[in-house]
Chain A
Amino acid sequence: MKFTRSAKFALAAAASAALAVSLLAPAQAATRSTIVIHDTNSLTSFNSGTPDTNLTINSKVGNLSGIGFLYIDNKKNVIRNTTFGNFKIVKNSATDFRIAYTVNPGLVWSDGTPINGVDLLMSHVLSSNKFSIDAGLGNPDSDDVPAFNSNGYGGTYSDNIVGLPVLSADKMTVTLQFKQKIANWDLYGPGPSPVHTLVLMAEGKKGLQSVKDNEAARDRFYAAYTTKNTAVLKSMGKVWSEAYNITEVNSSTNDLLFVGNGGFTVTSAVTKSSVTLKVNPKYNSGPKLSGTIDTVVFKFIADGTAAAQALANGELDIYSGQPTADAVAALKKLTNVNLIGGINACYEHWDTRVNAAPGQPDYNGLFKGHGGKGADLRKAFLLAIPRQEINEKLIVPINPNAPMYLGSTFIAPGFDGYERLVANNGSSYYVGSQDALNAKALRLVRKYYPTASASNPVKVNVLVPGNNPRRAAEFALAKANALKAGFDLVGDVQASWSPKIQLSTYDAQFFAYCPSAVTQAGSNANFQLGGGNNRNGINLPQLDAILNKLQLPLDNRAYISTIIAAERIIHAEGLTSGVFLHPAVTAVNKDLKGIKPSPLSDDVVWNWWEWSY
């Protein structure tokens, strides 16, 4: 004991002496040129185009390393990238619709190879069912995996394209022909891909080749494309479908995989941890880079609280997610961080049942049938959902700018024409003080249940998505208020709820749709007979006819007018009611400028050229 104590004294004295002489190096304050972006999911592939790898993080990385004719900004506007090229309609009749895409001269891939029209042709290979079948690459609709295991088959493009896209003599212009005018035709245009790298990898090359060899390789693809050379295309398809499915990138990885025309190219990646991209010195296909960022890192963090703490600790520069109100309050307290509140593409809505979904037993509940009693009770039910209270208590603490009502489930507030839409689409019926709405609802209920009241309510079976505190709170608020309108909401909490939406057991459900594109006809599947998301037995031929018009290209005015017509029916029938837009929060290192989160899945990465320190 004695020894220990005296020894400790000696130690302390000696330690002070020893340490006093040690030199102090000042902490460095170098300017940063790295930006670390958080993502919830881990990267699984550098090709996001296959069904297995269609993850937002995969496409975000792709977004930084490639750019084409257009991009979509944070207001969901389609912006043309004229640095890359131009496109225009060259023929516009009801049965023959042609668009010409021209690449500007002088643009290069990151390996120095000039970009031309042949690089646009891969899009067709990856999207057209007919091409895949004709070239002997497999039928995408069958059980066999096609040679190019693409996610793009079977969509609008494939259904409407006529023949092969035609390459001009100077190889800079590609012309597509569609069998009719299609809505949002500009979204179906071709994007550039470095086809020569696919050819070279298919031939077994392990690294970058000379420009001359690259151009020769591209010509070999063009020959195979025009003659539908199954063998060559199949070997390319194998590379396209499989070679990119790596998560570890280091100096021994084949550089051909990462040739692109975006501002950044992948240089390294660590499995399930991060991907690092460095600036592409040859980049000239899009807006000029700000120049202060030379490294972009995607860091994968699944847990929301953990990510917010990592941001607070300076391990991240951009955090984006859907945190709780408390996490937002905590982020607000951080001095080194700017908080950008916003919304994501998801909108929460309450749906009511009309009839049984296809293949389900008959529905004989409260809301049965179009018109009459069913419609009245549905309307009363939707009136009784306290939308403003839900927004105030659950959404405003996270996003102070949240709109109190969603007047439409087709387009979001802020979209061009939204004001005119909500003024005319019948949504005003559902707006007012909640007391007034409750009274209105109770009157409707009493038409059919004269004794209905808070103490003698009518039961409504509601599917409640489990495992979600916000939805539990949303349901609690709805239940408490609906009682005032004479409804007793009987909630059935289901953790795994998605397959149960269609069950005839439930009179109503609430959940969110997250449209990931900006297409006009995106909501059709929810309401049309036979639509993939029509799980409430909606069968209104008149509505179907109106919605069919959205399949054709419409200008904004015609588009809004069509939605007005559709939503008048929807609101009069009480089929659905939007409650809130899911709030999303982006928190950014205060020194970082130019971050503009988008509600679409690209989130912050759509404008990488504007980022700067």
Chain B
Amino acid sequence: MKLFGRKEKSTGEILAGGENAIANKEVEGLSQGQIVRRRFFHHRAAVIALVSFASIILFVMTSLDVKMGPIRIPGWWKWTTEDIPELRFEDCPGGTTGCPTLSLDPRSGAFGMGTHPFGQDDIGRDYFALVMNGTRRSLMIMFVIGAVSGFIGVVVGSISGFYGKKVDSVLMRLVDFIQTVPTIIIAAVIGKAAGKVGPLYLALFLGVLGWTGLARLVRAQFLSLREMEFVDAARVAGASNLRITFKHILPNAVGQIIVVITLIMAGAILTETGLSYLGFGVVAPDVSLGLLISQYESSFTTRPWLFWWPGFFIISIALCVNFIGDGLRDAFDPRQRRRITKRDRLQAKLQNKAGE
């Protein structure tokens, strides 16, 4: 009944033709890049997510020292994860220690970050520094997994889908093979072998395992796109395989690819969390958000700040990445309708009336 939206003659039906007209008019004479950018910046949620994400990265990266070989850029935060300051007892609720000093109440005298805005851990280390360090690790893991999986997935998927036949067959069996190797085993091996340099290796190997879904998707896209008339047309016009792939097929598949990559990235942060919970992820003394949240799983009734802050960053990052992906999908999809605002509807209605 009502769930199906329209009844007889509603504005929606009138708009069925009109919407595309609005959208088409909007993009007349623009290059694809311009269209995508324009559409993306019209997606309010995606823009908010992008700005938040950029702010989080900036905030996190500048807070602590950045060490690259001999170069050392100092961060603005006073503690590092190696400092062990005195544990604070004052004003802590219910006999707890190391409670947070962050105060957002402008009336109180303590407004601002204070010495330990997110509190302190069991032995007194500054939790803000730990969370910042953990967020860095988690971001690194996320980007590495996204990049590695994205790259391998697109390459394997395109080759497989474009050439088909034997190549496809071999590559898809490789996908089967990779999918049968359990992630936890790889994580356990890395945990054993890599020791202190763990997180980067962990991310690389998870990336090497994580591309299979993307490859299958890219392949499916290629399989159906290569049968399209415009590809035939390009081929008749003498375009090379590379040109067909990059100029004709990939641009049509890029929306889906980006969405899947953002899903992989958002999933990566959770995979890391899950592995840390099971004891196979990032290993102390290294810090990651997943490790912090699983380490303080039981503290949410006693020292909730130890639990909420890493959780807050995990959820924020995953949310941002998902929304950015959503915006990109809408922006890249040539068939996707732009969001129709109330004003558009009104205009269309008026035009329609005028037309009648």
A interface residues, Cβ below 8 angstroms from B: 1, 304-305, 308, 323-327, 329-330, 333, 393-394, 397, 464, 466-469, 471-473, 475-477, 479-480, 491-496
Do residues B87 and A393 form an inter-chain contact, with CB atoms below 8 A? yes
Q: Nearest chain-A residue to B287 (Cβ)? A: A472
A-B interface, 7 closest residue pairs, ranked by CB to CB distance from nearest: A472-B284, A326-B299, A329-B302, A495-B191, A327-B298, A466-B283, A496-B192
Which residues from A are CB-within-8-Å of B124? 393
- Residues 260-313 of B contacting A (Cβ, < 8 Å): 279, 283-286, 295-299, 301-303, 306
**B301 contacts which of A324, A333, A394 (Cβ < 8 Å)?**
A333
Residues 160-191 of B contacting A (Cβ, < 8 Å)? 188, 191
Is the C-beta of B125 less than 8 angstroms from some C-beta in chain A? yes
List A contacts of B122 (CB < 8 A).
Answer: 325, 393-394, 397, 473
A495 touches B298 (CB 8 A): no
- Name the residue on B nearest A324 (C-beta): B298
Binary A-proximity of B117-132 (CB < 8 A = 1, otherwise 0)? 0000111110000000
> Are A480 and B82 touching (Cβ within 8 A)?
yes
Interface residues of B in 186-236 (CB under 8 A from A): 188, 191-192, 195-196
B2:A476 contact, CB within 8 angstroms: no
B297 x A305 contact (CB < 8 A) = yes
* Interface of B toward A, CB cutoff 8 Å: 1-2, 82, 84, 87, 94, 96-97, 121-125, 188, 191-192, 195-196, 279, 283-286, 295-299, 301-303, 306
**B264 → A minimal CB distance (Å):** 26
Pair B298/A468 contact, Cβ less than 8 Å: no
Give CA–CA (A568, B299) in the complex, Å: 43
Picked from B285, B298, B303, the residue with its CB within 8 Å of the CB of A472 is: B285
Q: Judging by beta carbons under 8 Å apart, are A493 and B297 in contact?
A: no
Shortest beta-carbon distance from B73 to chain A in Å: 22
What residues on B are CB-neighbors of A476 within 8 Å? 82, 84, 123, 125, 285
User: What chain B residues lie within 8 Å of A477 (beta carbons)?
Assistant: 84, 123
Residues of B within 8 A of A469 (CB): 284, 295
Interface of A is mostly: helix
Other-chain residue from B87, B188, B195 in contact with A494 (beta carbon distance below 8 A): B195
| A495 to B285 alpha-carbon distance, docked (Å) | 11
Known: A476-B123, A480-B84, A493-B196. A467 touches B283 (CB 8 A): yes
> What CA separation (Å) do A306 and B306 show in the bound complex?
19
Chain B: CB-nearest residue to A397: B122
Ordered by A's residue number, 6 sampled pairs between the chains whose C-beta atoms are within 8 Å are: A326-B306, A330-B298, A473-B122, A475-B285, A476-B125, A495-B279
Residues of A within 8 A of B303 (CB): 326, 329
Residues of B within 8 A of A333 (CB): 301-302
Closest to B291 in A: A469
How far apart sit A496 and B96, CA to CA, in the bound complex (Å)? 33
Contact between chains at B284 and A493 (CB < 8 Å): yes
The CA-CA distance from A323 to B196 in the complex, in Å, is: 26
A329-B195 in contact given A324-B299, A472-B285 (Cβ < 8 Å) = no
Which residues of the partner chain B approach A471 to less than 8 Å between Cβ atoms? 284
Q: Tell me which of B94, B123, B196 has the highest count of chain A C-beta atoms within 10 A of its own C-beta.
A: B123
CA distance in complex: A496, B195 (Å):
9
A304 vs B279: C-alpha distance in the bound complex, in angstroms? 14
A493 to B199, CA, bound (A): 13
Inter-chain CA distance A468–B295, complex, in Å, is 9
User: Are the CB atoms of A466 and B123 closer together than 8 Å?
Assistant: no
Bound Cα distance A428, B298 (Å): 38
A473–B123 contact, CB under 8 A? Answer: yes
What separation, in Å, do the CA atoms of A477 and B192 have in the docked complex? 24
Contacts of B121 in A (CB 8 A): 473
- Specify which of A324, A468, A492 is in contact with B284 (CB 8 Å cutoff): A468
Nearest to B84 among chain A residues (CB) is A480
Closest A-chain residue to B283, C-beta based? A466
For A304, what are the chain B residues with a Cβ–Cβ distance below 8 Å? 298
In contact, B2 and A1 (Cβ under 8 angstroms)? yes
Question: Given A393-B123, A466-B283, is A308 in contact with B195 using a C-beta cutoff of 8 Å?
Answer: no
CA distance A508 to B302 in the complex (A): 36
> Do residues B302 and A493 form an inter-chain contact, with CB atoms below 8 A?
no
Q: Contact at B123–A308, with CB atoms within 8 Å?
A: no
Q: How far is the CA of A568 from the CA of B255 in the complex (A)?
A: 74
The residue in chain B whose Cβ has the minimal distance to the Cβ of A466 is B283
Contacts of B306 in A (CB 8 A): 326
The docked-state distance in angstroms from the alpha carbon of A304 to that of B125 is: 25
Chain B residues whose C-beta falls within 8 Å of the C-beta of A394 in the assembled complex? 122-123
* Most A CB within 10 A of own CB, among B97, B192, B195, B303: B195
- Provide the bound-state CA to CA distance between A394 and B297, in Å: 17
Tell me, in angstroms, the Cα distance from A208 to B121 when the chains sit together.
Answer: 60
- Smallest distance from the beta carbon of A474 to chain B beta carbons, Å? 9
CA of A498 to CA of B111, assembled, Å? 49
